[in-house]
Amino acid sequence: MPTIEFTCPDGSHRTVEARVGASVMETAVKLGVPGIVGECGGGLSCATCHVFVDADQIDLTGPATDFEEEMLEDAVTPPTELSRLSCQITMTDALDGLRVSIAKEQQ
Amino acid sequence: MTAPAGCVAVVGAGQAGLQLATTLRALGYDGRVVLVGAEPALPYQRPPLSKAYLAGTVPAEDLALRDPAYLAEQGVELVAGRRVVGATLTGVGGVLRLDDGVVLGFDRLALTTGATARRLPVPGAGLPGVLGLRSVADAEQLRSGLAEAADVVVVGGGFVGLEVAATARAQGKRVHVVEAADRLLARVVAAPFSAHVRAWHESRGTTVLTGASVSALDGTDRVTGVVLGDGRTLAADLVVTGVGAVPDVALAQALGLEVERGIVTDAAGRTSHPHVVAAGDCTVQPHPHLPGRGLGIESVNNAVEQASAAAAVLLDQEPAPRGVPWFWSNQGELRLQTAGIADGHDQVVVRGDGGADGTGRLTVLYYRAGRLIAADVAGNPRDFNAARDALAHGLSVDPEAARDAGVPLKSLVEDPSAPAPTGPALAAHLTNGP
């Protein structure tokens, strides 16, 4: 199983195993990783699963799509070019070791 | 912590029940938390049941809202596949009796019993091939039915029906949507938004019949057709009924709680009994615009927020203020987002034309007494976020200015109670302007 390393809003780190095909958001919510809410369950509608992908890995995940980018514009923490909604990143073996930081102001 | 020391029982293991149970922990409660659910599965997400799960692109295990390891870590005892068959309240707590004979004592009780799909009240509604959609078991049946079907008739042009229609159409089925009202989503959105949604579905090849009642379902061993009020019969090998849901209030009634259409609560889930809270689809709460009326809100957002507040109430803590109610519906590529409660509006403003095929952007803003109260948005996250943000801060948008879809909605958000600029200040502003 590929792993994801989260940097939580309080600065702590948490590494979890993800099922291939599950999104980064789902994986975090199921295991109670703090700071990822995912209220819309991946419907691309709430912008409460905002993460910053490690700069070395953004090529692997790709940048936000147009609709996603518009949702991110008004996320609680201002987005950067490394911003993604984690519900839109589907885990694959190629993403093993993915490192993401959770947006700080996300409750 | 003042109360209660021993055990909180939560009846109903859906989105609201799970949220209530885990929020008790987040707020510091260290007694027993028992979550009783009639369905055998872990608490799961319902929104994908009419979309990705129905389409077969999401496996059942991905529907689970939390991992069992997380529930164990949180000390939430899940009693799955058990129904509550009796309950008693005493002065300090009470007991639940489960269908396997187990008796569970509690100090405080939370009802998150949800709602049941309404059955179509016509002859033939019990035929095989006629399905409602509420649970994952319903969705499984529907999915296998879809695999075999060529002609699908969706009765009811509400959100769930339209989501199912979009999923079925994407699989190449012939799809009819039959709606009794004169437009789709008639109870919840304004006419221009209905027209937009209709245009999208029709441009994808779905036939939409409005003002059309169903008088019977044809078939002997299995459904074969839908008989309309005007005598026409639509061929159907699968009929999906999306005609609303009925709050599950039996337990609340047995306990003597105040019940109207649903369990009567305030916004924080307080019921008429001081030791019982309720949250989610089983409740009606005060209408934000029409004093004295109750309102049922069937949404994930309501389940989560009302349950979180109710958890605080059970612990005698002050609940966090509620946010702006919001909702979403993805119908194929059509993305609908709603902020606020539109019911009770007296003015509507339309932004954008949405295009003849429904693929463009369209926003409908709802006003009451000159103030923004809600927005329905298709394909425009910026408008959705701007409207939600305005409502969250008690701000409004000038209705006339908002008609120009070329002007960002965000730039029009204003405080309607702020004093209008005075003469000299206005002059100064004009002088200093670009």
Best probe of the A interface among B23, B25, B45, by most A CBs < 10 A, is B45
With an 8 Å Cβ cutoff, the interface of chain B facing chain A consists of 45, 47-48, 59, 61-62, 64-67, 69-70, 73-74, 300-301, 304, 326, 328, 330, 335, 337, 379-382, 385-386, 389
3-state secondary structure of B396: strand
Question: Cβ contact (<8 Å) for B304 and A39?
Answer: yes
Q: What is the rounded average pLDDT of the residues A68-77?
A: 91
Q: How far apart are CA B337 and CA B328, in angstroms?
A: 4
**H/E element, B430:** helix B423-432
For residue B413, the Cα-to-chain-centroid distance in whole angstroms is 27
> Is-contact B68 B108, C-beta < 8 A?
no
At B25-83, the pLDDT tens digits run 999 999 999 999 999 999 999 999 999 999 998 888 889 999 999 999 999 999 999 99
Q: What is the rounded average pLDDT of the residues B343-353?
A: 97
DSSP letter at B381 equals H
Question: Cβ contact (<8 Å) for A41 and B300?
Answer: yes
- Per CB-CB distance under 8 Å, the chain A contacts of B47 are 40-41, 43
At B196-235, the pLDDT tens digits run 999 999 999 999 999 999 999 999 999 999 999 999 999 9
- Is the pLDDT at A43 greater than 90, yes or no? no
Residue of B nearest to A40 (CA): B300
- Is the pLDDT at B431 greater than 60, yes or no? no
ipTM metric: 0.91
pTM: 0.93
End-to-end CA distance of chain A: 28
Six token digits for residue B80: 């799955």
Q: What are φ and ψ of residue B410, in 5° steps?
A: -55, -35
One-letter amino acid of B288:
P
Residue of A nearest to B57 (CA): A21
The beta-carbon neighbor of B389 closest among A39, A71, A74 is A74
Best probe of the B interface among A14, A20, A31, A45, by most B CBs < 10 A, is A45
Q: How far apart are CA B52 and CA B411, in angstroms?
A: 36
> Is-contact A53 A81, C-beta < 8 A?
no
Residue of A nearest to B304 (CA): A39
- Is the pLDDT at B168 greater than 80, yes or no? yes
Instruction: Band the pLDDT of B5: cuts 50, 70, 90.
Output: low
- Is the pLDDT at B434 greater than 50, yes or no? no
Higher per-residue pLDDT: A68 or B430: A68
Handedness of CA B262, B263, B264, B269 (dihedral sign): negative
